[in-house]
Amino acid sequence: MQYKYYTLVTGASEGLGKALALECAKRKLCLVLVSLPNEGLHTLATFIQKNYDVEVLYYEYDLTHIQHCKQLFLDLKKKNIIIQYLINNAGLGNLDLFEQKDISFYEKMITLNNTTLISLTHLFKMQINTNQPAYVLNVGSIGGFFHMPSKTIYGATKAFVLSFSKALRLEWAPQNINVSVLCPGGMNTNLRVLRTNRNTTGLAKYSIMNPEDVASVAIAKWLKGKAVIIPGKINRLLIFINQVLPLGIKNKIVLKQFHKLLNRVEQSKSAEIN
């Protein structure tokens, strides 16, 4: 039986996922792209096939439903496709106080950011060819290193991704499977996020990157086997500062930035009313 080896990218229709898919295409990796329905995935797949001359399959699945993860791998199995490179990019974020979101929103976030990632990684392990190198890239965030008010659940899910990836890397290393975790900072992924990023202050303002630049660094270091990938000098500086500062000082800095955020939100509400 003739098998085909592909790279699976979730959340591939826009932002970082799209940029990661394009970077893989530049390296002539055949692709399986996944995103929610009606997000232009067909157009992206056609563009990649035409401009990079690689095979591209696409599936429109809502991966917050875990059964869709299983269905995806069944679909691929029918086509004799093996995922030898897995990029778990699909995720959900927010910028709200904890009580401002319904519990159903947080359940969806935890499912997509964590449970879906676990499910796809588990399915990947069961069907890869372990006779040749295999690669997993889990997309976390520098938020996984910090305790961030207004991103309480999001930060916790990304801390999980970081811990899970580092542990799994050790477990799978003897099996010729490389596991990496990508921890980007803020990105200009769409117009809504761009407007939010414009109000960012301090070092965080200068740490914001475009998804294309993040993806270029990420794929290059992933394929070289880097364990934790933190794109951008400012982001790496922020991580270093977080490691060396005493907890009390860090908490004062975080609270100061949090109060600035609350003031900006209140000013925006006032402007909308007026």
In a domain, 270, yes or no: no
Residue 16: partners with Cβ closer than 8 Å, 6 or more residues away: 89, 139, 184, 187, 189, 211, 214, 215
Full residue range of the structural domain in which residue 158 is found:
4-248
In a domain, 259, yes or no: no
Distance CA 240, CA 130 (A): 36
Is pLDDT of 69 > 90?
yes
Is pLDDT of 163 > 60?
yes
In a domain, 274, yes or no: no
In a domain, 265, yes or no: no
pLDDT at 257: 66
pLDDT digits 0-9 by tens, 215-264? 999 999 999 999 999 999 988 888 888 788 787 776 777 677 666 655 65
pLDDT digits 0-9 by tens, 180-204? 999 999 887 654 544 454 555 556 6
The CATH number of residue 148's host domain is 3.40.50.720
Distance CA 77, CA 8 (A): 13
Q: How confident is the model at residue 207 (pLDDT cuts 50, 70, 90)?
A: confident
Average pLDDT over the chain reads 88
Averaged pLDDT for residues 118-147: 93
Distance CA 141, CA 185 (A): 6
What is the DSSP-derived secondary structure letter of residue 224?
Answer: T
pLDDT at 248: 77
Distance CA 200, CA 189 (A): 15
Number of domains in the chain: 1
In a domain, 45, yes or no: yes
Is pLDDT of 206 > 80?
no
In a domain, 263, yes or no: no
Averaged pLDDT for residues 174-178: 95
In a domain, 258, yes or no: no
pLDDT at 274: 38
Residue with tokens 């932002």: 15
In a domain, 86, yes or no: yes
Record the pTM. 0.87
Pairing type for strands 4-10 and 31-35 reads parallel
